[in-house]
Structure 1
Amino acid sequence: MLTTFSAPQAKLCTTSVVLPPVVCALLGATRQHKALSDIRSELKVVANAIMAHYKAPDSKREQFRRYLEKAGVVDSLTKVLVDLYEKQEKPDNPLEFVKDNLGTSSLSQGSSYPLQQEVIDLRQKCASLEEENKQLRTKLLQYEPEEKAAE
């Protein structure tokens, strides 16, 4: 819980100050025994500790953001979301749209054409090898009965 002191109450600054309970207790206990400058210096130490605590997650977030930018994730997400925004007829399930289009956004038609051609070629080769295998099995069956009869 945070407590708000106006400037006359806190007597530390000219604007409204928001302080955590620990600092409020520190101010209340030390106000009776110490000079105002001592209270200010202690408050600065506490404020610096609080700010140091809040800066750490920001730097981690910043590092993570840079990591995502370097990997191209931010660009891919942006492109998919822009595509969704520009669609005249919005899909019923936007999450499915993002899932379906996220992986394909990095592959353009120009870069996927050689892969599609390779798939077609490999399917044709597989079909011809299956046909050759079928012919060889038929040929093998022709010779097997003769070998059994000779024994």
Structure 2
Amino acid sequence: MKLEMNTTFNRELPVTYLKFLNENPDGCQIKNNGRWDKRTWNMFGKAALLERWEMKGVGEAANYECLKLYTYIQEEVGEIAYAPSLRFGRVKLERVAKGFVIGTENGDYLYLDPDCSFSVWAYYHDGGEVTKISGSFADFYKTRKPL
């Protein structure tokens, strides 16, 4: 999988994900049929990715970078440097904060992890846990079910 620099987000992103964004400019829903996740994710289009919002007392971020706000709270409240992972032990919060959020479902976030070959992970907002869902966006997209 070759990566491309995307000038909109000023970072490298997988070509398969950029192609997906171009084909789904308004976003879409993806029913995942993977081994570790069988939910329907609301995938962001470009405009939604760039939409900014504020978390009171923490700061402001675009949707694609919102994990930095959640991990900041985790560090401040829990004074911990790791997010528990359902299958991988612990993941450093600084790594989670760099995640590129691509979708949401019931308050949880689906994101690409640039420190792990842009694998696809889920961040569970109510407990701060994370789990790896797929080794790549291409594999994640292949396991989807048609809606």
Q: TM-score range by the shorter chain?
A: under 0.3
Alignment TM-score, normalising by the size of structure 2? 0.21
* Structure with greater helix share of residues: 1
**Larger RCO (alpha carbons 8 Å, 6+ apart):** 2
Output the TM-score relative to the length of structure 1: 0.21
- Which structure has the highest strand share of the two? 2
Pair member with larger Rg: 1
